[in-house]
Homo-oligomer: A and B are copies of this chain.
Amino acid sequence: MENITEMLKGVLEGCVLEIISRGETYGYEITQQLRELGFTDVVEGTVYTITMRLEKYNLVDIEKKRSTMGPPRKFYTLNAAGQEHLEVFWRKWEFVSSKINELKQNQNEKEQ
């Protein structure tokens, strides 16, 4: 799916939070998981800006670990604030997506 950039704004951070919430992970792996999910054009730089933001707002705990596959990895885990943030995200998503689907549903009412 091409050019979904703008539609991803505001949801990509939540997706990253959700991925982290499933267990310790790091930037490169998060990028790959987003690509596997279907957001194939997401690049490392994008995920990096998000993880930096999560750090900045203290939503994650960080641990640096060596890897046999390349340079050290920065592992993230959600802390309490991050968990809270994730729940708020899903509540917002439920709200917004339900409203948009409502609009979509009414598509056939055009001719009234």
Interface residues of A (CB under 8 A from B): 1, 3-11, 14-15, 18-19, 21-23, 37-39, 90-93, 95-97, 99-104, 107, 109-110
Contacts and interface: CB of A to CB of B under 8 A. Distances in A.
A100 B9 CA distance: 13
Chain B CB within 10 Å, residue with most, of A18, A21, A91, A109: A18
Contacts of A23: 110
Main secondary structure of the interface of A (DSSP, over half): helix
B7 A93 contact: yes
Given A23-B110, A103-B37, A110-B23, A96 B11 contact: yes
Nearest to A6: B10
Contacts of A104: 18, 90, 93
